[in-house]
Amino acid sequence: MNADPQLVTRAQSGDEAAFNELVAGCRKRVLSIVGRLIGKPEDVEDVAQDVFLRLYFSLSQLSNAELFDRWLYRLTVNAAYDYMRKTKRRKESRMADLSEAQMVMADASAGQLQGKSDERQSTLRDFVHWLLSGVSEEDRILLLLKEVEGLSIKELEAVYGANESALKVRLFRARQRVLKAFEKSKEVKGKDGESRSTTG
């Protein structure tokens, strides 16, 4: 995001134009992160607006303008977490057709997804959401920040205010759970393939 510290300081002093400029500078990034974290495109804008609402009212608490990016990450994570807690999307998201998703997964693991149709991309998203539905909202967000957003452990430490070892343990456990679900889905795929070949 890399916001200009001077702009942050001006926004902190109540300059509305500076706040507008600040939002314009990091809006796209926030929208993308929120989109990947909550996985519901129709609600992304609403959650992103909530992030900037929180930013407006908490900007005065930011002691150092240099730390703005971490601050914004934290606000984004909190807003996404609150949204997910409200909607309890884990219970809603169940894969209707897992075998279709597994085909997409196979493509994805073979690196052949590029150029595929929107429908396949949507199925891939659904499959990842399904995989992540086995872990808590907090762990899901943590895992996505690490694996999808590419944040380092040091950056995660700053966002969460937790120590390195605690984060590593949490990430390891969450990843193990996701791997188990991944393995299970492969077994289902194998059985599905066998039954298809016998009936065919």
The closest alpha carbon to 116, from 106, 91, 92, 84, belongs to 106
Calpha distance 128→126 (Å, rounded): 6
By CB under 8 A, tell whether 130 contacts another protein: no
Burial-class residue 49 by CB neighbours within 10 Å (0-12, 13-18, 19+). middle
CB of 57 to another protein, least distance (A): 7
For residues 66-87, b (16+ Cβ closer than 10 Å) or e, as one string? eebbbbbbbbbbebbbebbeee
By CB under 8 A, tell whether 148 contacts another protein: yes
Q: Which CB sits closer to another protein, 74 or 125?
A: 125
DSSP assignment letter at 136 = -
**Residue written as token pair 């949204």:** 83
Q: Which CB sits closer to another protein, 109 or 195?
A: 109
CB of 183 to another protein, least distance (A): 6
Among 3, 18, 26, 52, binds another protein (CB under 8 A): 52
Binding site for another protein (CB under 8 A): 20, 23-24, 27-28, 31-32, 35-36, 41, 44-45, 48-50, 52-53, 56-57, 105, 108-109, 111, 113-114, 121-122, 124-125, 127-128, 131, 147-148, 175, 178-179, 182-183
